[in-house]
Amino acid sequence: MLFTNIAWLLAGSASASASTSSFKWHWLNNPGVEPVSPIGRSITIQVPPDTDIWRPALSKHNFTAPYLYTTVPAAHFQSVQVTVTGPWKTLYDQGGLVVTFPNRHNPNATRFIKAGIEFNDGTPALGVVATDILSDWSLSPITEKQTGNAKATILVERDGTDAWVYVVEGQGKTRRALRQVTWAFNEDDGQGLAKEIEVGIYGAKPTEESGEGHARDKIAVSFSGFSLKTV
């Protein structure tokens, strides 16, 4: 713990680029793929079917999606942003940001926020899932005119004890609120605040493709402009 704190003090006193390049990256659920930093480069995740991040019941905790993440002390987190796109075409095809609040005593009680694009009702939409005890999900239309695969820039920003989820529109000039999560950095909720959180990008494909020989087809979810701000 002491060493972590010292490392953070050193990183904090260095330039922003030095401190961001000091993040260590890990893959969850992407065997055989080397983790690389998504900062300053584009990343494509080849997402297999039958994957999700979703907890509809305590006995159905599902965190099977490929997730490229780094660990940040909760007290230092400010915001994370990424632009995500992909050839969305099947129910629940999705990708975007995940912020995880691990529960060291019970991994099944890990809290998380996921936000990005999700395909529903025949069209890609902006989806946010916040999971305190169980998951709840909201959808909002993509309102910007687009050509080709739907693309969106998603921002999760800390505001006091809240996390706010936004879609960034108008070439980065405006942002539209999608969700306020009041438990995110709140110690006064009976569960306590995770000291360290995990922040990164993911893709999931809950539904297999239909058609002879296509059940194992993957979806290529692509990310650019990743930015992680800490204090």
Ligand X SMILES: *[C@@H]1O[C@H](CO)[C@@H](O)[C@H](O)[C@H]1NC(C)=O
Interaction site with ligand X (CB under 6 A)? 50, 52, 59-62, 64, 108, 206
- Supply the minimum distance, in Å, between the C-beta of residue 108 and ligand X: 4
Tell me the two tokens of residue 27: 């893959």
Residues near 119 by Cβ (< 8 Å), separated by ≥ 6? Answer: 88, 89, 90, 91, 92, 93, 94, 125
Cβ proximity to ligand X: between 52 and 168 the closer is 52
Calpha distance 181→32 (Å, rounded): 34
- Supply the minimum distance, in Å, between the C-beta of residue 213 and ligand X: 19
Cβ proximity to ligand X: between 79 and 110 the closer is 110
Q: Find the angle CA(215)-CA(223)-CA(227) to the nearest 5 degrees.
A: 145
- Supply the minimum distance, in Å, between the C-beta of residue 205 and ligand X: 8
Cβ proximity to ligand X: between 47 and 72 the closer is 47
- Supply the minimum distance, in Å, between the C-beta of residue 126 and ligand X: 20
Q: Within 13 Å of residue 160, how many CA atoms lie on the same side as its CB?
A: 5
- Supply the minimum distance, in Å, between the C-beta of residue 208 and ligand X: 8
Cβ proximity to ligand X: between 141 and 211 the closer is 211
- Supply the minimum distance, in Å, between the C-beta of residue 219 and ligand X: 13
Using CB atoms within 10 A of its CB, is residue 200 exposed (0-12), middle (13-18) or buried (19+)? buried
Torsion of CA 227, 26, 52, 86, to 10 degrees: 50
Report yes or no: 92 and 222 within 8 Å, Cβ to Cβ: no
Cβ proximity to ligand X: between 38 and 206 the closer is 206
Cβ proximity to ligand X: between 23 and 54 the closer is 54
